[in-house]
Homo-oligomer: A and B are copies of this chain.
């Protein structure tokens, strides 16, 4: 998990009226029928500009056999951070919301937690107080709510929750809040024989529950923060795996590169991301030879989504945000910054 604190600092005003207006407007902006298989018709939710162009340039350079930067299909790897890159991460990481909402069920089984912090605060329902919980308390909550069950039980719980939970601003399932421009990039890369991977600070088991349905990414192509599991036998002699409260891979910062090495074993040609937790993954991608794209989503659209990081002039001392220092490294090293406001014609499929 990436630290949650910064996310909670951000503006939460629901701009639903404006959004409705924008949705109506964006529909008129979309071309009536886009020609298929030409760059003009691809990535229709993107405005023309350097970000869209960088994606086209990578694909052109790596699939053309006569190109000096040609890449064999089996080596075409693209990695995507999830929170803030593929879907909305505000006002909280979705998985943290899941964990918080599981607290009452956990306390019902373990009454002794009722008057113990941080569970007491969560049970109080005081969202401001929850937002102030330090990382170590959030880890306690994650460990208590997301481990100690079999992997099949976890999967079933997460699936049920995702079907019923709603994002407070849009009142829609969290899985609706994926960025349509990125869905188009995933498909475009796969159409060109790229293997697309999620490399997330979020929990691997959680993301795998919906990644195939939402992103077209199978479980084995989701790399995330992973806890240990423990093999055992039921009374009927049938084996099962239990989720243990022991961290195996902290898939943040340098852990993202270490996770890519362990789970993929190849250096990516494209990395899409949005925060300082992705810095090393971008550096690692950029240190390869040939054509490589390193892209950072800048959340600069308070109207249609949120504005935070350098775009909002927020303090940059927290991990998990797009800091000024990251922005500077991006400029220096030729990483491409995606402006949600300027580069994305449409943000959500439901608009």
Contact = CB atoms under 8 A, between A and B. Distances in A.
Interface of A: 74, 151, 195, 204-205, 208, 212, 218-220, 222, 226, 228-231, 238-239, 241, 248-249, 254, 257-258, 261-266, 280, 283-284, 287
Given A204-B262, A258-B230, A284 B219 contact: no
A151 B261 contact: yes
A3 to B, nearest CB: 19
A230 B284 CA distance: 13
A254 to B, nearest CB: 4
25 contacts: A74-B218, A151-B261, A204-B262, A205-B265, A208-B265, A219-B264, A219-B265, A220-B264, A220-B266, A222-B265, A228-B258, A229-B261, A230-B254, A230-B258, A231-B254, A231-B257, A231-B280, A231-B284, A238-B287, A239-B280, A239-B287, A241-B257, A241-B258, A241-B261, A248-B249
A53 to B, nearest CB: 27
A262 B204 CA distance: 8
A74 B212 contact: yes
A208 B195 CA distance: 17
B265 A226 contact: no
Given A195-B220, A239-B283, A226 B266 contact: no
Sorted from nearest, which 10 A-B pairs have the closest CB atoms? Answer: A219-B265, A231-B254, A220-B264, A229-B258, A231-B257, A239-B283, A208-B265, A238-B287, A229-B261, A239-B287
Contacts of A280: 231, 239
Contacts of A208: 265
A226 B248 CA distance: 11
Given A218-B266, A231-B284, A239-B287, 18 more contacts: A151-B261, A204-B262, A204-B265, A205-B265, A208-B265, A220-B263, A220-B264, A222-B265, A229-B258, A230-B254, A230-B258, A231-B254, A231-B280, A239-B257, A241-B258, A241-B261, A248-B249, A263-B263
A300 to B, nearest CB: 28
A264 B222 CA distance: 9
Contacts of A264: 219-220
A295 B231 CA distance: 21
Contacts of A241: 257-258, 261
A80 B129 CA distance: 51
Contacts of A239: 257, 280, 283-284, 287
Q: Which one of A208, A222, A284 has the highest number of Cβ atoms from chain B below 10 Å of its Cβ?
A: A284
Nearest to A264: B220
Contact of A262 (B238, B248, B284): B248
B151 A226 contact: no
A258 B231 contact: yes
Nearest to A243: B261
A316 B281 CA distance: 47
B265 A220 contact: yes
A241 B260 CA distance: 11
Nearest to A77: B220
A336 to B, nearest CB: 19
Contacts of A238: 287
A238 B257 CA distance: 13
